[in-house]
Structure 1
Amino acid sequence: MNVESISPKNRDIIEVCLLAGKIMLQSGAETYRVEDTMFRIAASYGIPESHSFVTPTGIIFSIDGDDPSKLIRISERSTDLQKVTVVNSISRRISSGELSVQQALNELKEAEKAGMAYSIWVRIAAASISSGCFLIMFQGMWNDFIPAMVAGGLGFSCLLYLHALVQIKFFAEFLSSSVIGLVAILFVSTGMGFELDKIIIGSVMPLVPGLLITNAIRDLMAGHLVSGISKGAEAFLTAFAIGTGIAVVFSFY
C-alpha cells in the first residue's frame, strides 16, 4: 500500500501521534510513556490497533498494519518536562473528545515551537545555588559554599556554551568538568576554599545525568531493553566524561 492509498484523516492521525511522540521524546520522557501516549491518541481517533517502535534516536509508527510505516529521526534531546506536561494534557483532551484531529495537530505544533525552557541565566543561577546546596548536603563546610557556587556556575555555563558550539555532547561535558576542577583547585590554592573534594563533588552534580539514569532504569523495568540499554550507555559515557575531566586536572595538580 502506498502513501496515497491512506485516507487524509488517517494521515493526519499519524502526524498527530508522531508529533506528540517526537515532542515527548525530545523533552526527556520515558520510552514506554511515549508509546503509550501515541497508542491512546490513535485509539481515541478510532484506530484501536496501532503499532509503534520507539528508541532514543527515532520513532517508527503505523496504523493497523497499513504500509508504509512512517519514521521520524530524533537528533536532539534535552530536558523540558513542561512540554511533556503540555503533550499529556493535549492527549487527555483528545481522549475525552474535546479536540479534533486538526485542532490537536495545531496545538502540538504550537507546543513544539514554544520556548518553554527557562532562560540561560536562570538555569546558570539554579546550577550555582544547587552546587552550593549539594556541598552542604555532602557535609561540606559553609566556608566552601561560595566557591562551590562559582565553580558549579562556571562549569554549567561552559557546558551550555560548548554544547551550542560543538555538537559533541561528551566533549562538552569533559571540558566543563575540567573547568570545575581548575576553578576548585584555584580556590583551594589561594586559601579561599578548604575541602577540594567536597567543592568538586558539589559543583559537578548539575552535570550528572540523573534523569537519564532514571529513565534508563524505568525503561528496562518496563521491558524496553533497547531504549533502556542505550540510555544507560549514554548516562555511563556522560559520567565517564565528567570523571575523566576531573581526573585530567588532578593529574597536573
Structure 2
Amino acid sequence: MVLHEVDNEFTIDCLLLAGRIMIESGAETYRVEDTMLRMAHSQNMLDAQCYATPTGIIFSLGKTQPTRIKSISNRVTDLQKIALVNSVSRRLTSHMITLEEAYDELKSIQKTNYFLPIYIQVISAALASGCFLIMFKGGWSDFLFACLAGGLGFLVLLLINDLTKVKFFSEFTASLVVGYIAVFSVKYGHGAEIDKIIISSVMPLVPGILITNAVRDLMAGHFISGMAKGVEAFLTAFAIGAAIAVTLSF
C-alpha cells in the first residue's frame, strides 16, 4: 500500500511538472488539462481529475489520493517548451518511454532556456517594426525610425521586466520610449508620419498570442481562464495606449 502511494506521488509530480511548464510557457488551459489527463490515463489513473487556470493547477485522483495544488506565478510565451512537452506526452501515452524517462526529460525542458540571445530578440523586434511600417503603407523615410523605436522599446521592455517583474510597468515604460522616439523624429524633421511609426513600433509589444489563447479558451468552455487571459491582454493594451497618450499629450 505504501509503495503504491509512493508511485502515485511520483506520477502526480510528473503530471504537475508537465502542466506547470505548459502554463508558464503560455499554453491554452484546455491543452494543459488534456495533456495531463492523457498522461494520467496512460498510467492507469482513469479517475484522474484536473482543473487548470493561468495561476494554478488542481489535480486529484479522487478518493485514493489527496488533492494536489500547484501555484503558477510567472508566465511567458515559449512555444518551443510547449511543443517539447507535447512530444513527451505523446511518447509516454504511446508507451515509447517510461514515466521516469518522461520526468527526466521534463526536468531538462524546465531548466533549459530556449529563448534567443537578447541582442537577436532586439534586432528581430526592430526589423519587424520596420516591416510593419511598410505593411501599413508607411514611407521608406520612416523605416529606420520605426526600427529604432521598436528595437529600443523592446529592449526597455526586457530590462524593466527583469528588474521589476511588473508586466504593466515594463510595457508602459517601453511604450513611452516608442512614443518619444516617434515624436522627436517627426518634430525635428526627420520622420514624416508619426502615427505609422508609433503603430508599427508597438506591434512587438502587442499580446497577440495571449489574445488568441483567451479566445480559444472561451470557445473551449473555459470561461474563467479565458476571462483571466482576456483581462491580462486588456491591461497590456491599456498600458500601451496610456503610454502613447501621455507621450502625445506632452
TM over 0.5: yes
Q: Is the CA contact (8 Å cut-off) linking 1:51 and 1:65 kept in structure 2?
A: no
Cα distance per residue 1:8-42 (max 9 Å; x no partner): 11111101110000001101110000000000000
Aligned to 2:193: 195
Please list every run of at least 4 consecutive aligned residues from structure 1 whose deviation after the TM superposition is greater than 4 angstroms.
none
TM-score by length of 2: 0.97
Aligned to 1:122: 120
Aligned to 2:133: 135
Structure 2 unaligned blocks of 5 or more: none
Structure 1 unaligned blocks of 5 or more: none
CA RMSD of aligned residues (A): 1.1
Corresponding letter in the other structure for 1:37:
T
Confirm or deny that 1:70 pairs with 2:35: no
Distance in 2 of aligned mates of 1:115 and 1:189: 41
Following superposition, the deviation at residue 6 of structure 1 comes to 6.0
Distance in 2 of aligned mates of 1:206 and 1:137: 14
TM-score by length of 1: 0.96
Cα distance per residue 1:98-137 (max 9 Å; x no partner): 1111111111001100111111111111100100111111
Aligned to 2:179: 181
Confirm or deny that 1:145 pairs with 2:143: yes
Aligned to 1:44: 42
Distance in 2 of aligned mates of 1:194 and 1:222: 45
Aligned to 2:7: 9
Distance in 2 of aligned mates of 1:188 and 1:66: 68
Aligned to 1:87: 85
Aligned residues: 249
- Residue 64 of structure 2 aligns to a residue whose secondary structure is coil
Q: Is the CA contact (8 Å cut-off) linking 1:56 and 1:231 kept in structure 2?
A: yes
Moved more, 122-131 or 4-13: 4-13
